[in-house]
């Protein structure tokens, strides 16, 4: 069992930036592929980005158009999501997740085994 805790959410003006963090417990963090998902009211949870256990492979939904960057620091057991040029469509609860598959290619929620509690991101116009 791995515990995940997101932080860094909040209210931001359209066009601004925000950096989300996810702290993971345990001593085998690098054995998990990690991902970010988001969910808006009335919508299904959707894939945002994924990263392999070593950090060498990154995968993004093309809907982001290059605005977001996923990264990890295995020495600190942390995952991050840098979000730039935010707009109202980015408003959602953002979740970090861990997968027993380490390839960084998993884009479905069902492929992840552990989830954080989520952090709210609200973009105002």
The dihedral over CA atoms of 68, 61, 78, 29, expressed in degrees to the nearest 10, equals: -160
Rounded CA-CA distance 14/63 in Å is 17
pLDDT of 1 reads 78
pLDDT of 77 reads 97
Q: How far apart are the first and last CA of the chain?
A: 40
Least confident of 20-24, 26-30, 33-37: 26-30
pLDDT digits (tens, 9 = 90+) for 73-112: 999 999 999 999 999 999 999 999 999 999 999 999 999 9
Residue 8 has pLDDT above 90, yes or no: yes
At a CB cut-off of 8 Å and minimum separation 6, what does 28 contact? none
* H or E element, residue 119: strand 119-124
pLDDT digits (tens, 9 = 90+) for 38-79: 999 999 999 999 999 999 999 999 888 899 999 999 999 999
Under a CB-based contact definition with an 8 Å cutoff, are residues 120 and 11 in contact?
no
């Amino acid at each position: 069992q791995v515990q995940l805790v997101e932080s860094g959410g909040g209210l931001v003006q359209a066009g601004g930036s925000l950096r989300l963090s996810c702290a993971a417990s345990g001593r085998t963090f690098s054995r998990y592929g990690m991902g970010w998902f988001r969910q808006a009211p009335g919508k299904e949870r959707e894939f945002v980005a994924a990263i392999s256990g070593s950090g060498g492979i990154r995968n993004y939904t093309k809907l982001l158009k290059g605005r977001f960057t996923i990264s990890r620091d295995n020495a600190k057991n942390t995952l991050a999501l840098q979000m730039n040029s935010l707009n109202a469509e980015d408003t959602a609860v953002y979740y970090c997740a861990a997968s027993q598959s380490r390839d960084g290619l998993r884009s479905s929620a069902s492929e992840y085994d552990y989830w954080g509690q989520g952090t709210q991101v609200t973009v105002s116009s």
